[in-house]
Amino acid sequence: MSDDTTITVFDAVRALAFIGDLSMGQPTDHSLRTAWLAGRIAAQAGCDMPQVEAAQHAALLRWSGCTANAQEFADFLEDDVLGRQALLAAPAPRMREPHRGAALPDAVLSMASIHCEIAGDIASTLGLSGDTEAALRAVFEAYDGSGIPGLLRGADVPLATYVVALASDLEIFGRLYGIGQALALVRGRADGLYPAALVDAVLPHVPAWAQELDAPVAPWTDAAGQPASMHRRMGLELVADVIDLKLPWMTGYSRRVARLARDCGARLGLDEAACHRTYKAGLIHGIGRASVPNAIWNAPEPLPAASLERVRLVPYWTSRAAGQIDGLAAEAEIASFAFERRDGSGHFRGRSGASMPLEGQVVAAAQQWLSHCTRRPWRSALTQAQAIERMTLDAEAARFDREVIEALVACVMPGSPPRPVAAAQGDAALSQRELEVLRCISQGDNTKEVARALGISPSTVRTHVERVFQKLGCTTRAAATLKAATRGLI
């Protein structure tokens, strides 16, 4: 087993697909099933192998921008998870009719822009094909011009966009309404959402594909048939950064948990391989957060019982990821202990004492420390002294192992030698003031809040934001945050 902290692109894509499915309120194999169907549709339509692969990869990453616009979606529909689920399940969710020419609400255009920019940037970062990236940047466009933002129509829309939209509709409608109704609904969208010629070419084959898709042995999970580009290795930090985009106040949170867990493990005497595992587990410990709407995360504690139950399932979904992503199985299992406590008061298993693996205890302690030290919309961050007091009390109450807490406190105390952090990448050449503005907006601060925090005028803030966007090559706060995080700028 490799003891480095990288994963294959294929495992990264599957992790992002899992997160996207949770964000959309879908079964966690929705994107995998859609990708399999997309491959069949593209092949039946006469596409060559690179086009088939582009459609499959775009299907896996179609919802990878969902964490980035979760707060905007929550502001628009209150429950960003169930709201998206309802939109996908609706038989005719047309955002606008082309002949009416009605303008879309600015909020809808903004959400689509954020989503597409993030998904396209992710594909670029992963080194996927230009066709895949183009499809993701136009993922909401439609054949008749009624898509979002509605700048493309007909042959100007990437073919993979149509293939993925058709595959997704067939997967969702077939699962919810049965294959017969799914075929009727798809025919009703022909020459609207996607070209009728594509629909006509594939519908006769759909019943047989549906049977194959629902076979006891799933046909979409084998990595062996993936192209060489999907077997390259990359840093897992990208997945962590995408997880954290869901909540602006959590920018960089998973990276900080991972570094602290690694350092704490080293102080406890864990070997290098174990420290790598705790680091990777820290990066993905929040993978299940996508299943919980932002309104709950932003609400003050104590939470009502129904909301608390959804929060308690976060580590369950992280554990579920271990069963679907082969290259992260061990790390996801460790990460699923991030909210357990040694006295059995944690979740989701309620494990206690020696039944918690040491690596899991380390991640849990690191996560709790960072939770104390991170501001929330409803409370300020604790000071270091306050956080140490809380963690010490938890150790005395047997919620954490005393040795683990002592090692953690030693890591965070002033004067502790810092472990090396990856050097910043790229040559964005941001000024110190631009970096300060970037850090503020990455945490969700608006223009007035940034101005107040930095003692500058709102117009100056806007000027700095424009320059940051220009230097990073992006147009949204979420995209700037993701690019800055991957380059080590924040």
Region 342-357 average pLDDT: 87
To the nearest whole number, what is the mean pLDDT of the chain? 91
pLDDT of residue 98: 44
Q: At what angle do helices 159-177 and 179-188 cross, to 10 degrees?
A: 140
Dihedral of the alpha carbons of 72, 75, 81, 82, in degrees to the nearest 10:
-140
Lowest mean pLDDT among 317-321, 414-418, 478-482: 414-418
pLDDT of residue 121: 97
Per residue in 169-199, pLDDT (tens digit) is 999 999 999 999 999 999 999 999 999 999 9
Per residue in 451-470, pLDDT (tens digit) is 999 999 999 999 999 999 99
Domains of the chain: 30-219 (1.10.3210.10), 235-412 (1.10.3210.10), 432-486 (1.10.10.10)
Question: Does residue 218 carry a pLDDT above 90?
Answer: no
Per residue in 233-290, pLDDT (tens digit) is 999 999 999 999 999 999 999 999 999 999 999 999 999 999 999 999 999 999 999 9
Question: Does residue 222 carry a pLDDT above 50?
Answer: yes
Please, what sign has the CA dihedral across residues 410, 412, 417, 420? positive
Region 48-66 average pLDDT: 96
pLDDT of residue 365: 98
pLDDT of residue 486: 87
Region 387-391 average pLDDT: 97
Percent of residues, the chain, with pLDDT higher than 70 = 92
Question: Does residue 326 carry a pLDDT above 70?
Answer: yes
Question: Does residue 372 carry a pLDDT above 60?
Answer: yes
pLDDT of residue 40: 96
pLDDT of residue 81: 95
Per residue in 111-121, pLDDT (tens digit) is 999 999 999 99
Question: Does residue 484 carry a pLDDT above 70?
Answer: yes
pLDDT of residue 4: 74
Confidence label for 404 from pLDDT (cuts 50, 70 and 90): very high
Confidence label for 221 from pLDDT (cuts 50, 70 and 90): low
